Amino acid sequence: MTPVVLTLTLTLVAFGAQAQEIRFATEPYPPYSYADDDGTARGAGVEQVRAMMDGLDSRTDYSIDVMPWARAIALAETRPDHCTFAAARTPEREGRFKWVSPLLFDINLLVTRKDAAGNVQSIEKAKSLSVGTQREDYTESLLRAKGFDKIDLSNSFDLTLAKLLGKRIDLMTMSQGVYETLLAQGSPIQSVAELSRQELGIACNRTVADTVIAAMQASLDRLRTSGEQNRILSRFGLPQNP
């Protein structure tokens, strides 16, 4: 092979390596993630992912799509170069993905309507009532582990909330940050118990290169140490990470 051909070959190989695209998926879950009127992904989690990817030392193309959670996490588990966020980093999920975290630390609440709060005196009482969550959300297995058996599954958070407010279910699970946002908007809901505390991060397909995962983690770490992560959370009215 001549020097000119060798140089061209190495250039094409390098270009191909840089042309890898990471496809992120997230769910409609404001203020963490949502799509605006023109379909552009927005939210505290979305801004963190954008800042992380834009801060990589070498250019990596990426896209962010908003879709039902069950589809988002299925893509991350089954499709090369796919990731999803913000996923609870639970023991059951740990080995199924490669992880970049934390995007945030979250408290998950059990929530009912204000006019029904008197019916929920305790977690034990709540177990006899119907509770809603989203398909493939970690709270489904969490509820089952805690002894809830009347679990109603929906494709999206908005649908679960509509069922609660429409009196089709008695309770639902909800992030504390989302709960506080809805309260500020005047939603007639009330927290009745804390279900869990967990770290949320980016769950990536196992085929994503370790070098890419390490680069994303280093970039996210820089967001944390610089204070930018907490500035993003604050802009969306969310509690700061420790």
Residue 174 in any domain: the answer is yes
Q: Which two tokens stand for residue 185?
A: 């908007």
Q: Domain count of the chain?
A: 2
d(C-alpha 194, C-alpha 185), whole Å:
21
* Side chain identity at residue 126, one-letter code: A
Q: How many CA atoms does the CB half-sphere of 118 hold within 13 Å?
A: 1
- Residue 4 resides in a domain: no
Residue 172 sits at the vertex; the CA angle it makes with 170 and 178, to the nearest 5 degrees, is 135
pTM here is: 0.85
Its domain, for residue 39, covers: 20-105+199-235
Q: What's the pLDDT score for residue 150?
A: 97
Note the pLDDT tens digit of each residue in 203-213: 999 999 999 99
**What stretches of the chain adopt beta strand conformation (E)?**
21-26, 34-35, 41-42, 61-66, 82-88, 98-113, 131-134, 151-154, 171-175, 189-204
One domain for residues 64 and 116? no
Exposed (0-12), middle (13-18) or buried (19+): which is 42, by Cβ within 10 Å?
Answer: middle
Provide the β-strand partners of residue 132.
Answer: 152, 172
Answer yes or no: do 144 and 110 share one domain. yes
- Residue 179: CATH number of its domain: 3.40.190.10
What pLDDT band is residue 19 in, cutting at 50, 70 and 90? Answer: low
Tens of pLDDT, residue by residue over 104-134, are: 999 999 999 999 988 887 788 899 999 999 9
Q: Above pLDDT 90, what percent of the chain?
A: 84
From the list 146, 148, 145, 175, the residue with the least C-alpha distance to 160 is 175
Query: Rounded to an integer, what distance in angstroms lies between the CA atom of residue 106 and that of residue 208?
Result: 26
Kindly state whether residues 226 and 204 are assigned to the same domain: yes
Q: How far apart are the first and last CA of the chain?
A: 56
CB atoms within 10 A of CB 38: 5
Instruction: Let me know whether 99 and 43 are in one domain.
Output: yes
Instruction: Looking at the structure, tell me whether residues 29 and 98 fall in a common domain.
Output: yes
Domain assignment present for 71: yes
